[in-house]
Structure 1
């Protein structure tokens, strides 16, 4: 089954359709992020059985996989929103969805290669080194991947806030 290239349904080409679909995709992205956190929080269950030199790299891998999945999902949302706006081609649609497009533009399309490169992320590298030195050197990769994970979470938080701002414009009566 192929992925849809835009948010517009065949019979319904409205702004509310786009906003609802983006909101649904943002929720999926947040679920990916929460999956990473919850998986790592369950790691102490395996601590009595697995030694730290096995468990800690596994935690880093879980954070890395979830961060990569969330990153790809955010890029997919960006692409679908861009295609939907191109298909709508109405001036007022662009103004209504401006908060969404601003968030998508404010988070640069950084590749995962750049995210994994410690030399291009000196602050994250420094923080993971300090954390590893304070606790245990085996924690360094966990902290580095957690930094990637937090960056992806920030992008979804911003996108969710933008969706809520657009919903307030479109559905002013339904808000509490």
Structure 2
């Protein structure tokens, strides 16, 4: 079974790769927005679920969306590497802004991200927020910080895709 790439269309290889990456970045952003949306819909269930049940479920929604977004991000990197290996030399230098993002990010694994001892600043902010509102909110604030980190990665990748699209606009 061959590894999936972005070279399924008949366009110029660079354009096919960029459009495939763009599509996957949008999917990752949709995953994160689904996590935000599920948490924002939590007040609907407030009359039937007590806070000690509802608040951990909100944190769990963030956990799932963060994990799915990271899997999507890593999948983009695998497909990009496979496509670039197949298309050696075809103006692949134009893809440098995108490949630079994958060289720099993700800086830490999700295992490190979920460990409060390895993220003292996020932990401190979460504890402060929990003291101000409700102790049950601490995991939600912590997971929200992870959500923001994944969103930042995808926005950097999206900006790199926009830069490459502007460079290749004359090929379309």
TM range (shorter): over 0.9
Consecutive unaligned residues of structure 1, counting only runs of 5 or more, are none
Contact 1:67–1:152 at 8 Å: present in 2 too?
Answer: yes
- Alignment partners' CA distance in 1, 2:12 and 2:41: 43
Q: Deviations over 1:4-62 (max 9, x none)?
A: 53211275561000011001001100000000001100001111111111110000000
Aligned to 2:89: 90
* Structure 2 residue corresponding to 1:129, chosen from 90, 102, 127: 127
- Alignment partners' CA distance in 2, 1:67 and 1:60: 11
Residue 166 of structure 1, CA deviation: 0.3
* CA RMSD, 1 decimal: 2.0
Aligned to 2:104: 106
Residue 92 of structure 1, CA deviation: 2.7
Residue 110 of structure 1, CA deviation: 2.8
TM-score normalised over the length of structure 2: 0.93
1:119 is paired with a residue of what secondary structure?
helix
Aligned to 1:55: 54
TM-score normalised over the length of structure 1: 0.91
- Alignment partners' CA distance in 1, 2:9 and 2:74: 23
How many residue pairs end up in the alignment? Answer: 172
Consecutive unaligned residues of structure 2, counting only runs of 5 or more, are none
Q: Deviations over 1:95-144 (max 9, x none)?
A: 20011011111213532211111111111111101110111100000001
Contact 1:6–1:84 at 8 Å: present in 2 too?
Answer: yes
Question: Structure 1 165/10 Cα, relative in aligned 2: closer, same or farther at 3 Å?
Answer: closer
2:71 is paired with a residue of what secondary structure?
helix
Aligned to 1:45: 44
Aligned to 1:22: 21
- Alignment partners' CA distance in 2, 1:46 and 1:4: 43
Name which of structure 1's ranges 7-16 and 40-49 shifts more when overlaid on structure 2.
Answer: 7-16
2:116 is paired with a residue of what secondary structure?
coil
- Alignment partners' CA distance in 1, 2:85 and 2:158: 22
Question: Structure 1 10/157 Cα, relative in aligned 2: closer, same or farther at 3 Å?
Answer: closer
